[in-house]
Amino acid sequence: MQGLHSTARAVLTWQLVLACLAAALFLFGGRDAALASLAGSAIAIVPTVLTYLRTRQALVGVGARDPRQYVQMLGRAQAAKFGLTTLMFALVMSRWAEQFFAIMAGFAAGLVAYWIVMWRAKHESLTGIYQKHGE
């Protein structure tokens, strides 16, 4: 459970940092561009939070007692994430269709957070291996 919590916190932290950076860059294009960028980031952030909460609920509620039910709950959480992402894209695009690039850049910033966290986790695990073997 601790690994899930720390990974989710790292992803959300990076998503928020990158969302703010993207919005700051798009602020040069005007207020609407910056808001559209933040809305694009929210399309990545909100489903991440809800998926984390549902995954945590499944882990606490079912956990290792019934792996089949746990996997089913994770599948439902991912399906809900996909549906929510689609709905949010539809809503944001209906409001800021002319700011398509800003929306997509904000969304991409939210996805890049996953890559950063996974790269750091891999780097830290490799660093630990090298230190353990004295290399």
Q: Looking at the 3D structure of the chain, how many domains does it have?
A: 1
> Token digits for 98?
């002319």
Residue 30: which of 91, 74, 121, 96 has the closest Cα?
Answer: 96
**Cα–Cα distance between 130 and 109 in angstroms, integer?**
31
Q: Confidence class of residue 70 from pLDDT cuts 50, 70 and 90?
A: confident
48-74: average pLDDT? 83
Domain carrying residue 127 = 2-132
Q: In Å, what is the CA distance from 31 to each residue of 26, 53, 97, 105?
A: 8, 32, 15, 15
* Res 61: pLDDT: 78
Percent of the chain topping pLDDT 90:
60
| pLDDT bucket at 8, cuts 50 / 70 / 90 | confident
